[in-house]
């Protein structure tokens, strides 16, 4: 579709009211986003594998640095997540100027956040030493963070553009841009980590450099598409980009900061659970890490479907059509529930085989880690319903531009219910790793129930 002559406003995209139509819309929008999230996760996996081939110390340094980067990145992407429902609602209302305003100020807030946290990246080595890390790991991890920190700006800007394009139902390009990043990451890692093709052998610092290049390439691809596609030119995304729009900036910040804090609360819950699992021994921690890696991969599906729900609910809200809003929400929840039930079956039937893929056949610790990891995946069958339910409810509420109270619900559920329950069941009752994971299930279940109640009451 091309813009009308003279730069006239395009007619708003029609909303859908039938279940089949909405289910198809959820899948058409959601599946490319699922693929994009899986591809983003693959960046982490390829870094882990290739650094593991290079050396244990560089692997540990890269893992430590990537964890720190992810925590700060998670807080920063709240602004980009706020852009998605705001653009969806504005586009459905035919308010092209508002689409440009909120997207541009989402980019501004991302850059402001980058400037605030950059010093932490540049001077992280002494901080890692203070945290009691191995001196070699702290030194290499600090070097990794000093490089990868520069990639935070393009990474956050790319997330804003992904939200902008997804809200305009341009999800295919989001998938292809992320896949391009994966290909670049593998190639540059091979060159810079190992010193191939005459380049210096950089180890963990090579992986960090590759990550920065990946973020720049992804940002460049998305920006080129957003600016030059004829159907999107009328939004004039970067027109007078340098001019502040304080009203729009406050709106995006008010919506986005609670999203970032809620995401940080969930990330912190899993980080704290890893600490508790470490108290139970390295084999238990290894089983926990493997099981969590598997569940994280499946979680990407729920996350993509949740993003689709945000867009569809936001569009229905922009058209002031409560019937279409309820239909979009119902279809999103049912599809997510179907996937969760199917995943439960996979976990219960193939748990040992999936955990075994992460260990060498002759690894002596295999006889301990595989059964324990399989048991944790059995608990994760409940985990799927809870985690899928809470992330879907979050997506629906974001579509309604309701983020502050959900942030409080998430923090209370994760930190005042989930974490204490995990400690009590794991160490006081004596269920150890299973108890810690049941605590995660309890926290996520409380969040899912409370968030869904809030959404369905609000409509």
Sign of the CA dihedral with 38 first, then 358, 353, and 270 last: negative
pTM: 0.87
Determine the Cα–Cα distance for residues 153 and 129; give it in Å rounded to an integer: 26
pLDDT at residue 8, rounded to an integer: 38
Instruction: Judge whether 65 and 204 are in contact, CB under 8 Å.
Output: yes
Token pair listed for 46:
């390829």
Six token digits for residue 178: 């992320």
Please, are residues 124 and 69 in contact by the beta-carbon 8 Å criterion? no
Rg (CA), the chain: 22
Tell me the two tokens of residue 34: 């699922």
| Residue 174 CB burial class (10 angstroms; 0-12, 13-18, ≥19) | buried
What are 136's two structure tokens? Answer: 């070699």
Judge whether 311 and 99 are in contact, CB under 8 Å. no
Token representation of residue 361: 């056949």
- Residue at token pair 């027109």: 239
Nearest to 302 by CA among 396, 406, 387: 387
What is residue 13's predicted lDDT score, i.e. its pLDDT?
Answer: 47
Nearest 5°: the CA angle 355, 356, 360 is 135
Encode the chain in three state secondary structure: CCCCHHHCCCCCCCCCCCHHHHHHHHHHHHHHHHHHHHHHHHHHHHHHHHHHHHCHHHHHHHHHHHHHHHHHHHHHCHHHHHHHHHHHHHHHCCCHHHHHHHHHHHHHHHHHHHHHHHHHHHCHHHHHHHCCCCHHHHHHHHHHHHHHHHHHHHHHHHHHHHHHHHHCCCHHHHHHHHHHHHHHHHHHHHHHHHCHHHCCCCCHHHHHHHHHHHHHHHHHHHHHHHHHCHHHHHHCCCCCCCCCCHHHHHHHHHHHHHHHHHHHHHHHHHHHHHHHHHHCCHHHHHHHHHHHHHHHHHHHHHHHHHHHHHHHHHHHHHCCCHHHHHHHHHHHHHHHHHHHHHHHHHHHHHHHHHHHCCCCCCCCCHHHHHHHHHHHHHHHHHHHHHHHHHHHHHHHHHHCCCCHHHHHHHHHHHHHHHHHHHHHHHHHCCCHHHHHHHHHHHHHHHHHHHHHHHHHHHC
Q: What is the pLDDT of residue 383?
A: 78
pLDDT per residue of the chain (459 residues) written in tens, 0 to 9: 334 333 334 344 444 557 888 899 999 999 999 999 888 888 888 887 888 778 777 877 887 788 788 889 999 999 999 999 999 999 998 898 999 999 999 999 999 999 999 999 998 888 877 766 678 878 888 899 999 999 999 999 999 999 999 999 999 999 999 999 999 999 999 999 999 998 989 988 999 999 999 999 999 999 999 999 998 988 888 888 888 899 999 999 999 999 999 999 988 888 888 778 878 887 887 788 788 888 888 899 999 999 999 999 999 999 989 999 999 999 999 999 999 999 999 998 998 888 888 777 777 778 888 898 899 988 888 878 888 999 999 999 999 999 999 999 999 999 999 999 999 999 999 998 899 999 999 999 999 999 999 999 998
Q: What number of residues does the chain have?
A: 459
C-beta separation of 192 from 206 below 8 A: yes
Structure confidence at residue 133 (pLDDT): 67
* Beta carbons of 310 and 396 less than 8 angstroms apart: yes
Q: Give residue 16's pLDDT.
A: 53
Cα angle value 81/82/86 (rounded, 5°): 125
């Amino acid at each position: 579709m091309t813009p009308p002559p003279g730069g006239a406003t395009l007619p708003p995209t029609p909303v859908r009211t039938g279940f089949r139509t909405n289910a198809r819309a959820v899948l058409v929008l959601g599946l490319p986003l699922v693929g994009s999230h899986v591809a983003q996760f693959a960046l982490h996996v390829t870094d882990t594998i290739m650094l593991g081939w290079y050396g244990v110390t560089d692997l540990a340094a890269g893992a430590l640095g990537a964890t720190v980067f992810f925590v700060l990145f998670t807080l920063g992407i709240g602004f980009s997540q706020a852009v998605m429902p705001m653009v969806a609602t504005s586009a459905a209302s035919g308010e092209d100027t508002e689409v440009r305003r909120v997207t541009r100020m989402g980019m501004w807030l991302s850059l402001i956040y980058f400037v605030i946290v950059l010093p932490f990246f540049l001077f992280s080595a002494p901080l890692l030493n203070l945290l009691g890390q191995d001196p070699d790991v702290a030194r290499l991890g600090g070097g990794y963070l000093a490089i990868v920190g520069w990639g935070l700006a393009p990474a956050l800007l790319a997330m804003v553009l992904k939200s902008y394009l997804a809200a305009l139902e341009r999800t295919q390009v989001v998938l292809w841009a992320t896949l391009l990043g994966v290909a670049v990451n593998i190639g540059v890692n091979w060159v810079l980590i190992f010193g191939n093709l005459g380049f210096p052998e950089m180890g963990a610092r090579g992986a960090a450099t590759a990550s920065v290049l990946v973020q720049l390439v992804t940002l460049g691809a998305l920006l080129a598409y957003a600016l030059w596609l004829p159907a999107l030119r009328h939004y004039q995304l970067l027109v007078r980009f340098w001019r502040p729009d304080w009203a729009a900036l406050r709106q995006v910040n008010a919506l986005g900061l609670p999203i970032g804090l809620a995401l940080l609360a969930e990330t912190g819950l899993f980080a704290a659970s890893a600490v508790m699992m470490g108290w139970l021994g390295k084999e238990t921690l290894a089983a926990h890490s493997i099981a969590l890696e598997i569940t994280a991969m499946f979680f990407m599906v729920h996350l993509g479907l949740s993003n689709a729900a945000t867009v569809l609910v936001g569009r229905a809200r922009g058209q002031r059509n409560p019937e279409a809003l309820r239909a979009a929400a119902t279809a999103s929840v049912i599809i997510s529930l179907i996937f969760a039930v199917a995943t439960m079956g996979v976990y219960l039937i193939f748990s040992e085989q999936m955990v075994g893929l992460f260990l060498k056949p002759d690894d002596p610790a295999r006889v301990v880690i595989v059964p324990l990891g399989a048991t944790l995946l059995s608990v994760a069958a409940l985990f799927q319903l809870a985690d899928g339910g809470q992330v879907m409810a979050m997506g629906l509420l974001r579509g309604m531009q309701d983020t502050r109270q959900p942030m409080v619900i998430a923090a209370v559920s994760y930190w005042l219910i989930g974490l204490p329950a995990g400690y009590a069941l794991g160490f006081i009752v004596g269920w150890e790793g299973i108890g810690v994971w049941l605590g995660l299930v309890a926290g996520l279940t409380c969040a899912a129930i409370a968030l869904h109640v809030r959404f369905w009451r609000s409509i």
